[in-house]
Structure 1
């Protein structure tokens, strides 16, 4: 059949038709394929654009995110660097503060050590002071007691120190104390201690393992070492110690009691002569015990205000009127009764209470002047002041403050000083006196003619008054030519512009002589004995202003 068709005349036509149909179909197919391809390409292109846009958007977002993260990281790094820098600065500040604090702590520790050392050391001698020595003694006593060993306390007082100090000046006196302290220190053995209690008083603690015989031998050697010539500031000074010794447990079990016993033994040694030492004995001389008891009572006397003032009038000789009073301290002792200065002033100087006693006397005098002022009385009052008190750094400032607080005028208050102050021209005393003189206070030199001060010294001192010692007044008679020393003293003093006061006037002949010699003021038993406050208010010239006194 196929052959028949192939051989049929219509075959070419059919073939052509089929070719046309096939061609058309191919064209249609190609067209459809192109359309499909185009469509697919369009779809793909659209999707590609979308994908590309998405990728670009994603890339852009990623880029911005990366940029943001980079900036954030950079910001964090900058913040971190700033934080680290601040922390570094803070660390540097803390480190500097730490170093400063360490330096400050070191300085404070050094200052504390220095202040502790200063608080525990006597500045003049370099030895322990009283408080530190008492603490050391308490510790040593407990240790020696536990070891069943003896402990000795030595109380040392240098003979003639006051006269050396008064005659040669405080500079030589201080040099002597330093030399004595040096010899004591060099004599000490390990475990021993030494202290200066004040003035020329030294205390030594002997510890270690010594018998009474060894203690006796050591004390004897110390006496020999301290009894020698001291070359001091171009002066050669001879002095010796008086030493009292107490032993624990024989003489007591407490430090205070042992020191009191050694002090009492020292008084006994001083009564026996110079360069002596004594061990404490309960049978010591009663006078020594009384002196010792008085010294121990000084603290209570000051705190309980057992000191009072008596008043002796001073008479203007040209008018025979009371021109003022001298305040004289007395001690109302509960056991020994009324005591005069010769019984306790030296004790106060030796025990270091003279400054406190001096201020107590000034307080009493100013209170009395305040009362007089309130009653309308305008009298002058003179008070004795020790050289030791005048060496206090704040003396003049404190005194002027006390005057101002009580409303006392400067001219009403007079200070009486000793020749020791005049001879000590290198101390602070002269500065205080000059300041007080400028403020209007009267400054009087007491007991002139008793010591070594001469008119050459007076010329440079801020004095207003010169008081002639009673020893020069006692031999006077009513003859002007009887004693040229007194008349010459009065003449020279008046030429220096000083008011002259005679002490210890007891007879009419002495009064006549002093009037003829031109003396300004006199005081003594011829006019009146020192009076208590009650007696003063009954004293007729005191009750009236400028009342004449009968001669």
Structure 2
């Protein structure tokens, strides 16, 4: 009996200890991590050199309800809002309750202000949904403050910045979002506007593909073309705005835009091939496209749908994209190669090509090496770089395309060096699809093509 009584007492003490531990780290009712727990997690965040955002959501509706709703109704409102917040954020993020009316979201790994704004807008959207509560129709609202972590901040400073931003947001009215640093808000708004503009251009057919001819160095005859992206401008002209591609990539829209470009290229190839024209088209792809889940399979489906003849579609993979996992890249490229797609390494020499990268290239299923215009511009006066690239390509049994050929002296030097294909203004600028076909392909017959 004494032993059982002792055991019961011990179990009771353990339960009391656990309850006290929970009370010290969890907020009542919601059982979310409280401010003390959040600050402990922030200590871990600031101790590691990583990006993070802290988002404080001040829910004024909970505060307004304090003097109006019964306690059971307030608890139901709180729990409902907690579930909404949980649904609005990724599972790896931490949701805490730091006061009776305020929540905090710790987003480790969130590096860009626009990402924090996008998440905050999602939070506000789900909070603002009409909420029936015991016969009442509520439309909750909140204010959001954001602080981005910077090296040198303490956990307390990081937290106070987010709270300060939330106070500023509340002063400006309902459902406002503010950064501790106003410049970050401007940066995020510019980034989100860029994303909106790019998606609008894609939806409203303000993008087009133009084609630049590639010629056989030995004969001067057209032997292919590169697909280049153009955007309609306000005056009706078409051009490639400065850093458009970089903005598309930074906005995370390279996947949808890249897919659209690929389909347009396949559509053009199919139209030509229905007329017996077998001219190859080269399309730039980012490693981000290749490594994205199922994107390679989607490319294969496009090739099958448009019945693209083997050898007529060339994917130009930009060498400046780092190949951290060449085995993975190889696995993504191999099915495309087996389907008759040729692989070109684009902008060679402009990125990460050290000895290690060159060693990896030997294992990659690459057919063509494109020498960037930067190096062609050196010719024929400076021949310190291009001969080494040509020798490398020969050693790897790759065909060579020289980009940016603009004068006859460059053409003669490249021809003497044995470069197979040339591209540049010397042979023609990029043209709209119909104009390209009219200029270069009207007299072409099937037996004259590659």
TM-score normalised per structure 2: 0.62
Pick from 450, 467, 474 the counterpart of residue 370 of structure 2: 467
Tell me, in whole angstroms, the C-alpha distance in 2 between the residues paired with 1:363 and 1:322.
Answer: 23
The 5 A counterparts of 1:100-249 are 143=61, 191-194=103-106, 202-203=115-116, 219=147, 222-225=149-152, 248=169
- Hey, what does 2:133 align to over in structure 1? none
Distance 1:199 1:401, change over 3 A: farther
1:501 aligns to what SS in structure 2?
strand
Rg (Cα) greater in structure: 1
Pick from 286, 304, 309 the counterpart of residue 386 of structure 1: 286
1:494 aligns with 2:406: no
Question: Is the Cα contact below 8 Å between 1:198 and 1:351 reproduced in 2?
Answer: no
The root-mean-square deviation of aligned C-alpha atoms, in Å, is 4.3
Distance 1:145 1:309, change over 3 A: farther
- Hey, what does 2:406 align to over in structure 1? 506
Deviation at 1:543, TM superposition (A): 4.0
Q: 535-544 or 306-315: which moved more?
A: 535-544
2:434 aligns to what SS in structure 1?
helix
Distance 1:344 1:145, change over 3 A: farther
- Hey, what does 2:183 align to over in structure 1? 278
- Hey, what does 2:335 align to over in structure 1? 435
Tell me, in whole angstroms, the C-alpha distance in 1 between the residues paired with 2:288 and 2:246.
Answer: 12
| Residues matched between the structures, number | 332
Tell me, in whole angstroms, the C-alpha distance in 2 between the residues paired with 1:430 and 1:441.
Answer: 14
Tell me, in whole angstroms, the C-alpha distance in 2 between the residues paired with 1:194 and 1:536.
Answer: 53
Q: Which has the higher contact order (CA 8 A, sep 6+)?
A: 2
Tell me, in whole angstroms, the C-alpha distance in 2 between the residues paired with 1:198 and 1:333.
Answer: 34
1:191 aligns to what SS in structure 2?
strand
Q: Structure 1: which 4+ aligned runs deviate by more than 6 Å?
A: 184-190, 196-199, 288-291
Distance 1:505 1:141, change over 3 A: farther
Gaps of 5+ in 2: 1-44, 46-52, 66-89, 125-142, 155-164
- Hey, what does 2:34 align to over in structure 1? none
Question: Is the Cα contact below 8 Å between 1:199 and 1:350 reproduced in 2?
Answer: no
- Hey, what does 1:525 align to over in structure 2? 425
Distance 1:542 1:320, change over 3 A: farther
Pick from 479, 483, 505 the counterpart of residue 383 of structure 2: 483
Gaps of 5+ in 1: 1-124, 126-132, 148-180, 228-244, 266-275
Deviation at 1:226, TM superposition (A): 8.1
Question: Is the Cα contact below 8 Å between 2:369 and 2:401 reproduced in 1?
Answer: yes
2:431 aligns to what SS in structure 1?
coil
Question: Is the Cα contact below 8 Å between 1:541 and 1:547 reproduced in 2?
Answer: no
- Hey, what does 2:18 align to over in structure 1? none
1:398 aligns with 2:294: no
- Hey, what does 1:55 align to over in structure 2? none
Deviation at 1:336, TM superposition (A): 8.6
Tell me, in whole angstroms, the C-alpha distance in 1 between the residues paired with 2:407 and 2:414.
Answer: 11
2:333 aligns to what SS in structure 1?
helix
Tell me, in whole angstroms, the C-alpha distance in 1 between the residues paired with 2:235 and 2:170.
Answer: 30
Offset from partner CA, 1:420-439 (integer Å, 9 cap, x none):
55622256332111221122
Question: Is the Cα contact below 8 Å between 1:199 and 1:349 reproduced in 2?
Answer: no
Question: Is the Cα contact below 8 Å between 1:251 and 1:280 reproduced in 2?
Answer: no
Tell me, in whole angstroms, the C-alpha distance in 2 between the residues paired with 1:494 and 1:540.
Answer: 30
Question: Is the Cα contact below 8 Å between 1:423 and 1:453 reproduced in 2?
Answer: no
Tell me, in whole angstroms, the C-alpha distance in 1 between the residues paired with 2:423 and 2:110.
Answer: 35
Offset from partner CA, 1:106-125 (integer Å, 9 cap, x none):
xxxxxxxxxxxxxxxxxxx9
1:192 aligns to what SS in structure 2?
strand
- Hey, what does 1:293 align to over in structure 2? 193
1:458 aligns with 2:361: yes
Distance 1:422 1:291, change over 3 A: closer
Question: Is the Cα contact below 8 Å between 1:322 and 1:547 reproduced in 2?
Answer: no
Distance 1:278 1:423, change over 3 A: same
Q: Which structure features the higher share of helix residues?
A: 1
TM-score normalised per structure 1: 0.52
Question: Is the Cα contact below 8 Å between 2:281 and 2:313 reproduced in 1?
Answer: yes
Tell me, in whole angstroms, the C-alpha distance in 1 between the residues paired with 2:108 and 2:300.
Answer: 32
Tell me, in whole angstroms, the C-alpha distance in 2 between the residues paired with 1:199 and 1:308.
Answer: 32
Offset from partner CA, 1:217-259 (integer Å, 9 cap, x none):
x848x323589xxxxxxxxxxxxxxxxx89635677557xx59
Tell me, in whole angstroms, the C-alpha distance in 2 between the residues paired with 1:511 and 1:307.
Answer: 32
Q: 331-340 or 358-367: which moved more?
A: 331-340
Deviation at 1:197, TM superposition (A): 11
